[in-house]
């Protein structure tokens, strides 16, 4: 079938609107967040100077004294690495505030850095705006320094701090709540008023997504290795659970609930080093670009977002060890995914033997690559199959699939089959697709790829399909 340019867009519109939503659904902020799936974590504070991971809260403020802090350097590296934002530990468990808070005496205002006139959050906020990066904050409710911690009054202190950082440094794309809850300086633990915390953040920052074990907007992956479950539902049941020790089991967080009542997608957190704060002894232990790429395949490639921690050193700079790994990782991603073989080889797409390519492409009127950048396929039901035919044999080891999450998540399982002529050279069953599913495998020669939906909640839509040959050493074995 030949279509004009206007008819092409009408075809796509018809296919989109024929999708039946499967509840629960994400809101617009969650969709925006999932479309920007990679950003950096910055752990920075007194621990950077004491060589600790968890500060005691009794550290003297003077110890915080970066000699060459440069948030613009952080942002330049983040941008070059392909990150879309930065989340910073504005207050870790030691209670030290990286901004001059009016609600604590344990802050940069009491430090030696810039004679007490410095403000890390202000500098980072300005740098993120300059480099077009989103900014987020981690604000630990646990505070091992504040004298009110362990009393009802502290909940209001924490609320006031949230209001302070949102008012002075927002807007934020993400607000991180750590569920850790230990003793304060008086030996007491705090009964957190999570209901008040949540209602406050909704009032002062309605477009900011909140992360914790159980959301309400983003959930933890259940490990600190950056690895999502091979099954990953964006859905989670939270009834009866709480943050911290009352959270769902880690394996539930890692795969979600197939019939979960809430749309709470997963974020994978991992550090580029063994620790979260900078330690000079770990300069030789920075993850390689290849390891970061493997994490990418098992986090973003399984439908989650990835927050990668890159801790500045005592100068307040990201070291050359970390930046080299990040730039190497970015280069691997660019090289691996620059050529979609469906586009470069002008492949044909069939459903149940019917040619769909002509619905997307009219070679006389539409550039093939432009048209095929939105390879949205009409809803198809169980055991219907989609075939990709190449004009000549291709070496393939990676396939990318996407569902249109604005209609929910539907696919429960599917198979991938590769054919070399009539010979089946690869066959494997997979589970969920979600926002993005990157499937990699040892290099195979094929002239046809078949995707078959085996089980789904409703007739699913595949929003996009891409086929790649990535460097062989990067593919999953």
- Do 415 and 429 meet the contact criterion of CB atoms below 8 Å apart? yes
Label residue 379 by pLDDT band (50, 70, 90). Answer: low
Say what the pLDDT of residue 350 is.
86
Residues 57 and 175 in one domain: yes
Looking at residue 5, its pLDDT comes to 22
- Residue for token pair 């970015």: 330
Residue 341: enclosing H or E segment and its boundaries? Answer: helix 341-344
Give me 382's structure tokens.
């169980």
Would you say residue 36 has pLDDT above 50?
A: yes
Q: What is the DSSP string of 173-227?
A: SEEE--------TTSPPP---HHHHHHHHHHH-TT-EEEETT-SSEEE-SSSSS-
Question: In sequence order, what are the residues at sequence separation of 6 or more whose Cβ sits closer than 8 angstroms to the Cβ of residue 436?
Answer: 37, 300, 301, 303, 400, 401, 402
pLDDT tier, 398 (very low <50, low <70, confident <90, very high otherwise): very high
Residue 382 has pLDDT above 70, yes or no: no
Q: Are residue 160 and residue 201 in the same domain, yes or no?
A: yes
For 72, the token pair is 């613009």
> What pLDDT digit, counting tens, does each position of 98-115 carry?
999 999 999 999 999 999
Domain boundary among 337, 365, 380: 337
What is the tens place of the pLDDT at every residue in 215-250? 999 999 999 999 999 999 999 999 999 998 899 999
| Strand, coil or helix: 120 | helix
Least confident of 180-184, 199-203, 430-434: 180-184
Question: What whole-number distance in Å separates Cα of residue 142 and Cα of residue 343?
Answer: 51
Q: How many residues does the chain have?
A: 477
pLDDT over 70 (residue 134)? yes
Q: What is the pLDDT of residue 377?
A: 63
316 near 67, Cβ under 8 Å? yes
Helix or strand or coil: residue 251?
helix
pLDDT of residue 361: 55
How confident is the model at residue 359, as a pLDDT?
A: 61
Residue 244 zone, left/alpha/beta (φ > 0; ψ -120 to 50; rest): left
The continuous run of DSSP H or E covering 445 comes out as strand 437-456
d(CA 99, CA 119): 5
pLDDT digits (tens, 9 = 90+) for 431-465: 999 999 999 999 999 999 999 999 999 888 888 89
Shared domain check, 249 and 100: yes
Average pLDDT for the chain: 91
CA angle at residue 311 from 140 to 77, to 5 degrees?
120
303, 319, 337 - which closes a domain: 337
Confidence at residue 301, expressed as pLDDT on a 0 to 100 scale: 98
Q: Which of these three, 295, 322, 337, is where a domain ends?
A: 337
* Residue whose pair of structure tokens reads 């078959």 in the numeric block: 452
Q: How confident is the model at residue 345 (pLDDT cuts 50, 70, 90)?
A: very high
Task: Report the pLDDT value the prediction gives residue 13, as an integer from 0 to 100.
Answer: 25
351 domain residue, yes or no: yes
Tokens 């205002």 correspond to: 109
Name the 3-class secondary structure at 476.
Answer: coil
> How far apart, in whole angstroms, are the C-alpha atoms of residue 27 and residue 217?
9
In a shared domain, residues 391 and 354: yes
Residue with tokens 């008086």: 186
Residue 178 and residue 220 in one domain: yes
Q: What is the CATH number of the domain that holds 356?
A: 2.60.120.260
Q: Which of 244-248, 282-286, 365-369 has the highest mean pLDDT?
A: 282-286
Domain check: are 112 and 44 in the same one? yes
What pLDDT does residue 220 have?
A: 97
User: Rounded to whole angstroms, how far apart are CA atoms 29 and 26?
Assistant: 8
Domain co-membership, 295 together with 396: no
In a domain, 26, yes or no: no
Residue 464 pairs in a beta bridge with 402
Q: How does 85-101 read in b/e, with b if 16+ C-beta sit within 10 Å?
A: bbbbbbbbbbbbbbbbb
Split at pLDDT 50, 70, 90, the class of 153 is: very high
Q: What pLDDT does residue 352 have?
A: 76
- Which two three-digit tokens encode residue 56? 């005691």
pLDDT tens-digit series, residues 298-311: 999 999 999 999 99
Angle at 309 between CA 334 and CA 58, to 5 degrees: 165
**Per-residue pLDDT, 180:** 87
Residue 362 has pLDDT above 90, yes or no: no
Checking phi first, is residue 178 left (phi over 0); if not, alpha (psi -120 to 50) or beta?
beta
Quick check: is 378 in a domain? Answer: yes
d(CA 351, CA 383): 11
Percentage of the chain beyond pLDDT 70 is 91
Q: Is the same domain home to 227 and 162? A: yes
Q: Minimum mean pLDDT among 29-43, 66-80, 447-461: which range?
A: 447-461
Exposed/middle/buried for 348, CB within 10 Å: 0-12, 13-18, 19+? middle
Both tokens of 346, joined, read 């002008």
Count: domains in the chain? 2
351 and 306 in a common domain: no
Domain that holds residue 370: 5-20+339-474
385-402 and 354-355 as β-strands: parallel, antiparallel, unpaired?
unpaired
Distance CA 207, CA 126 (A): 20
d(CA 402, CA 177): 29
Indicate if the alpha-carbon torsion angle 205, 211, 213, 215 is positive or negative.
positive
Residue 469: asked if its preceding bond is cis (omega within 30°), the reply is: no
CA distance 107 to 45: 10
Percent pLDDT > 90 in the chain is 84
Residues 326, 177 share a domain: yes
Distance CA 32, CA 144 (A): 35
What is the reported pTM?
Answer: 0.93
Q: Which of 156-165, 371-380, 445-454 has the lowest mean pLDDT?
A: 371-380
Average pLDDT (125-152) is 97
Average pLDDT (31-57) is: 97
Task: Specify whether 407 is located in the same domain as 360.
Answer: yes
Q: Measured on CA atoms in the order 157, 125, 31, 474, is the torsion positive or negative? A: negative
pLDDT at 372: 59
Q: How confident is the model over 127-155, as a mean pLDDT?
A: 97
Residues near 20 by beta carbon (within 8 Å), at least 6 away in sequence: 379, 407, 458, 459
- Based on the fold, state whether residues 412 and 306 are members of the same structural domain: no
Instruction: Give the domain CATH number at 273.
Output: 3.20.20.80
Residue of 397, 425, 429 whose CA lies nearest to 416: 429
Contact 345, 392 (CB under 8 A): yes
Q: Would you say residue 31 lies in a domain?
A: no
Between 1 and 118, name the one with better pLDDT: 118
Confidence of residue 351 (pLDDT cuts 50, 70, 90): confident
């Amino acid at each position: 079938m030949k279509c004009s340019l206007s008819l092409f867009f009408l075809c796509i519109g018809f296919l989109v609107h024929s999708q039946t939503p499967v509840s629960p659904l994400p809101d617009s902020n969650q969709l925006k967040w999932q479309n920007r799936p990679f950003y950096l974590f910055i752990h920075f504070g007194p621990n950077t100077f004491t060589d600790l991971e968890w500060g005691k809260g009794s550290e003297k403020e003077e110890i915080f004294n970066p000699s060459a802090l440069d948030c613009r350097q952080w942002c330049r590296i983040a941008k070059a690495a392909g990150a879309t934002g930065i989340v910073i530990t504005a207050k870790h468990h030691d209670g030290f505030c990286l901004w001059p808070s009016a609600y604590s005496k344990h802050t940069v205002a009491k430090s030696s850095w810039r004679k007490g006139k410095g403000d890390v959050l202000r500098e980072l906020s300005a740098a993120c705006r300059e480099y077009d990066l989103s900014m987020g904050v981690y604000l630990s409710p646990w505070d091992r320094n504040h004298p009110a911690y362990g009393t009802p009054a502290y909940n209001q202190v924490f609320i006031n701090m949230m209001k302070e950082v949102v008012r002075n440094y927002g807007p934020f794309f993400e607000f991180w709540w750590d569920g850790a809850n230990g003793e304060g300086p008086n030996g007491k633990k705090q009964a957190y008023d999570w209901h008040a915390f949540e209602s406050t953040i909704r009032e002062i920052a309605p477009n900011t997504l909140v992360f914790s074990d159980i959301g309400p907007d983003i959930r933890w992956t259940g490990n600190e290795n950056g690895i999502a479950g091979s099954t990953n539902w964006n859905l989670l049941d939270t009834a009866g659970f709480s943050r911290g020790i009352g959270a769902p089991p880690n394996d539930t967080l890692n795969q979600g609930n197939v019939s979960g009542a809430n749309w709470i997608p997963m974020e994978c957190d991992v550090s580029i080093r063994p620790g979260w704060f900078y330690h000079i002894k770990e300069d030789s232990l920075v993850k390689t670009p290849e390891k970061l790429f493997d994490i990418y395949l098992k986090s973003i490639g399984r439908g989650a977002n990835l927050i990668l921690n890159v801790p500045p050193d005592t100068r307040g700079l990201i070291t050359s060890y970390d930046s080299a790994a990040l730039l190497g990782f970015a280069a691997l991603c660019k090289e691996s995914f620059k050529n979609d073989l469906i586009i470069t080889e002008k492949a044909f797409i069939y459903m149940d033997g019917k040619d769909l390519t002509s619905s997307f492409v009219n070679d006389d009127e539409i550039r093939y690559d432009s048209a095929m950048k939105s390879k949205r396929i009409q809803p198809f039901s169980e055991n219907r199959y989609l075939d990709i035919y190449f004009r000549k044999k291709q070496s393939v080891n990676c396939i990318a699939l996407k569902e249109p999450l604005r209609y929910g998540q539907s696919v429960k399982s599917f198979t991938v089959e590769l054919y070399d002529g009539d010979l089946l050279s690869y066959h494997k069953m997979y589970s969920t697709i979600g926002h993005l599913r990157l499937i990699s495998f040892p290099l195979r020669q094929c002239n046809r790829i078949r995707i078959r939906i085996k089980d789904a909640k409703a007739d699913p839509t595949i929003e996009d399909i891409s086929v790649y040959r990535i460097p062989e050493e990067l593919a999953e074995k």
